[in-house]
Amino acid sequence: MGKALFITGTGTDVGKTYVTGLIVRKLRQAGLNGGYYKAALSGAICDKDGVLQPGDALYVRRVAEMDESVENLVTYVYPEAVSPHLAAKMNHRPIDFDRVKSDFERAKSRYDYLTMEGSGGIICPLRWDNQQHMLLDDLVKRLHLGVLIVADAGLGTINSTVLTIEYLRAREIPVRGIIFNKYIPRDIMQDNNASMIEEMTGVKILAYVKKGDTELDIDIDMLKNLYA
């Protein structure tokens, strides 16, 4: 059984999938058996044959040069670009934790370093019906995962990043670190954002990703140690 790490964002459109692709690519280029898994993906687009294609997972597979079937990358795929809990209701296909756990453990058994990508931010609802209420952090806790946070380096990130960290701590979920995305070198505000977040939380920013980066600038041993 391999090790795993959960990737969450401070919100939607912070570049979580982009950074996740760089992480898995870094592992694999270092000769490590790195894999990818996502429990639920909404906003999928149909191909010419009418089959839903999970864009995020396919992007990571391509960037990381993985040879893996789509079925093993994502458990639930929905066409509507809404929160997974709502997409599940609209399609009458509620997310079942036991199925997700089974798929996760199978993926973990196939890879030494499994990177699991979340949906949106850490409080994203996965299921909310008469039978069960499940948020993304509930899933993280039940799978016993530590979390790496992807944050936009720009304006507003102090608030969203600190709130994400404090929420994870309140839920007793280990925070492994932060990756700053959309970073502009020598930008006084973004550099101050980084130092303020580190001072306020004690959590380190482990890497800075600029627009268009194709490689993750992080020590491979540091990256490996984030997985447990």
Residues with a known catalytic role: 38
Mode of pairing for the β-strands spanning 113-121 and 34-42: parallel
For 124, half-sphere exposure in the C-beta direction (CA atoms, 13 angstrom radius) is 25
Mode of pairing for the β-strands spanning 45-46 and 52-53: antiparallel
Q: What backbone phi and psi angles, to 5 degrees, belong to 5?
A: -145, 140
Measured CA angle at 196 (ends 193, 200), to 5 deg: 140
- For residue 189, CA distances in Å to 107, 177, 184 come to 40, 20, 10
Q: How far apart are CA 130 and CA 149, in angstroms?
A: 31
Judge contact between 38 and 73, C-beta under 8 A.
yes
Tokens for 14, please give them: 């912070």
Q: How far apart are CA 210 and CA 104, in angstroms?
A: 30
Measured CA angle at 146 (ends 112, 77), to 5 deg: 75
